[in-house]
Each structure stands twice: as structure tokens, then as C-alpha cells.
Structure 1
Amino acid sequence: MRKLSSLSSIGLLAVAVPAAATSVSVSFVQPERYTDASYSHPYATEKDRAEVQRDIAQHFQRLAERRLPANEELRIEVLDVDLAGWFEPFRFRTAADVRIIRDIAWPRMKLRYTLLRDGQPLASGEEQLVDMNYLMNSNVYSGSDRLRYEKAMMDDWFEKRFSAH
């Protein structure tokens, strides 16, 4: 069961993902200030942002379940999201809600993380995830997956950051 809660007074949205052998918590800090975190249009509502946040949190959960030992806990704070592509304002009459994918509009995500093993800090940091070659890299996700480029970027970061642990 998934639970979304918003603390609008401090601009923090926490997404609780299902408990599994590996514990992962993903929180979204001031999502209303994110660069571009909506599937539908550039003027995102809280509901639009919540959909993207849910999908990001679920993907981090799947990555942790597959790659982290049961005695580790990962805490991620997402500080900014900029989805691949953009909405082009001059297309407002014909395709206002169509995200245009171009090689110069790569996906980005800024986050802070802490990895704990048996309750003790093992690794932490703040990082900017960027995939400037997102259109040239192979991608295992379906073309209909709205987060396909971001998921590939998250996979790459997760592998590089946590494969040694």
C-alpha cells in the first residue's frame, strides 16, 4: 500500500513505499520549486507532481530491492527534478501538453542520500544526476514509459554509487 502525504507549510512531500527486506525512504523537498517535474504541462499542479514523485519513489524502491542487502537502509531526499525534454510554448494551439525530446534537454535530478548498514551510516552525499547522452545511450525501458530516460539515469547512478557496498 502506498501513502502520499504533503506538509505544505514547509514544502516537503514524503512518499512511503511498501516495506520490503531492504528499507528505502524517498522524500521530495519543496516539489513546487522543481525545475520540471510534471508529465502533462509546464504549469504543474500538486497532483501532476505527485504522479512523477510516486513513479520516482517506486523506481528507487525496485532498485534497492534488487541491489542492496537486507541489513541496509537507504534514505533519499530529492531536491530537484528536470525531466528530459520540454514543453514548447509556441505549440500551445496544437500540442501544448506534448513534451518535445531534444538532445539539449537532458534529464537531471538533484538528491541527497544516506546509506545505513545495521543502523550505522555507511555512505552519504549530495549529487546531481545528469545524462547528457540520454538519446544516444541504449535504454531498456519501453518507449511508452514516461520516465524512461530518468529511470536509465537513476539505474546508472545507483549502480555506480552502491555496487561496491
Structure 2
Amino acid sequence: MKRLTAALFLSMVLTTTAWAGTAKVTWDDPDSYRDVRAAEENQTRFERRVFDGLEAHFQELAEKLPENHVLEVTVKDLDLAGEVLPINIGGGMNLVRQVRNADFPAIEFDFKHLDDSGNVVLEGNERLRGRDLPGQGRTNIRARSQHELLDYERAMLDRWFRFRFEE
């Protein structure tokens, strides 16, 4: 039985296409972005978390491309889901990023998909605005907790990648 399992596993590995593209993300003039505003966090640290998180997500998407292919992305503008508002918590005013039903994220970027020889497979400029996002349709306002940072933005980028590269 162990030999059969090992043989099946080996045949799956050998017949699977190698997928291991990479992403290169450039942030063009982030000080001019529409909304990357921190709530109760240092602005520089918050921006770094946002940019690192989106770079990691572009990398996850690029890994679905064929081996040695590159997805180059130059972000021109970013508007995170929700808005930063002052709210009264325990008698004091705090800033919290709140997401309402129509508080969609938006992003503008140029992209190039390069093959393993550096030839352009696909390129373009995208202006995405997230719709049909997780939690849409709820009537209550809810604050985004730390573990939810970029959930809406990732969902928007996932849909874009499926449309451009998988369909």
C-alpha cells in the first residue's frame, strides 16, 4: 500500500505543470494615494504593512503563472476599503477604519506579464474598484480588525487576476 501511495504521489508531481512566477511591485508616489490613512497606528508603520501585504498578495497571484514568468506592477493610486472616522469608545475619541456597504477599495496600476525570455505576454493599465465584497449587504457599520486588513483589496485583486490570466 505504501508503494502504491508513493507511486501515485510521484506520478502527480511529475505530471503537474510547474507554476512559479514572481512579482515585482513598485509604488509610484505613495504620498499622493487617495486613502492609505492609518487609524490607531503610526502612519509609516501602517503604510509598510499595507504595501508589504499587497506585495505578498501580488506574489501569491504571480506564483500561478508559469515558471520564470514575471508580473511587474506599478501602483499609481490606492484607496483602501472604508474610511477612517472618529468614534467614541469608552468616553474617549478614537480613530477607526470603518467599512460600510458601499465603501469599496480602489486601485490603479500598470502591469506587465513577462515570459521566461523577458518578452511581454500581456500589459495594460487597470483601474479597479471592488464590488461584491465579503460582508457586502450588511447594514451595520463594522470596524476592520487587524486580521481583516486588506481582505477587501485581496478579493478585488483575485477577481482581476482570474479575469486577466485564468479565463
TM-score range, shorter chain: 0.7 to 0.9
Counterpart pick for 1:161 among 151, 159, 164 = 164
Distance 1:58 1:130, change over 3 A: same
Shifted more, 155-164 versus 31-40: the winner is 31-40
**Structure 1 counterpart SS, 2:147:** coil
Instruction: Name the SS for the 1:40 alignment partner.
Output: coil
**How far is the alpha carbon of 1:110 from its aligned partner?**
0.8
> Secondary structure of 1:103's partner?
coil
Unaligned runs of 5+ in 1: 1-19
After TM superposition, give the deviation of residue 47 of structure 1 in Å. Answer: 3.0
Letter in 2 for 1:31: P
Is residue 83 of structure 1 aligned with residue 80 of structure 2?
A: yes
From the superposition, tell whether residues 143 and 48 of structure 1 become closer, same or farther in structure 2 (CA, over 3 Å). Answer: closer
Partner residue in 1 for 2:49: 51
Equivalent residue pairs, number: 139
Shift of 1:105: 1.3
More helix by percentage: 2
Q: Pick from 55, 59, 62: which aligns with 2:60?
A: 62
User: For the residues of structure 2 that align with 1:97 and 1:90, how far apart are their CA atoms?
Assistant: 6
The 1:90/1:21 distance shift into structure 2, 3 A limit, reads closer
Partner Cα separation in structure 2 for residue 89 and residue 30 of structure 1: 27
The question of whether the paired residues in 1 share the 8 Å contact of 2:86 and 2:95 is answered with no
Task: Answer whether contact 1:34 1:82 (CA < 8 A) is retained.
Answer: yes
- Counterpart AA for 1:25: K
- Aligned-pair identity (%): 32
* TM-score (structure 2 length as normaliser): 0.72
Instruction: Please give the residue correspondences for 1:1-165 in structure 2 after superposition, counting only pairs within 5 Å.
Output: 21-40=20-39, 45-65=43-63, 67-89=64-86, 94=92, 96-118=94-116, 119-134=118-133, 135-136=135-136, 144-164=147-167
Distance 1:44 1:77, change over 3 A: farther
Amino acid in structure 1 at the alignment position of 2:94: A
Contact kept? 1:30, 1:79, Cα under 8 Å: yes
For 1:105 and 1:146, how far apart are their aligned partners in 2? Answer: 14
Shift of 1:115: 0.6
Report the Cα offset of residue 40 of structure 1.
2.9
How far has the Cα of 1:111 moved from its partner?
Answer: 0.8
Q: What is the TM-score with the length of structure 1 in the denominator?
A: 0.73
Structure 1 residues 143 and 51 mapped into 2: Cα distance closer, same or farther (>3 Å)? closer
Structure 2: segments with no counterpart, 5+ residues? 1-18, 138-144
Distance in 2 of aligned mates of 1:143 and 1:50: 14
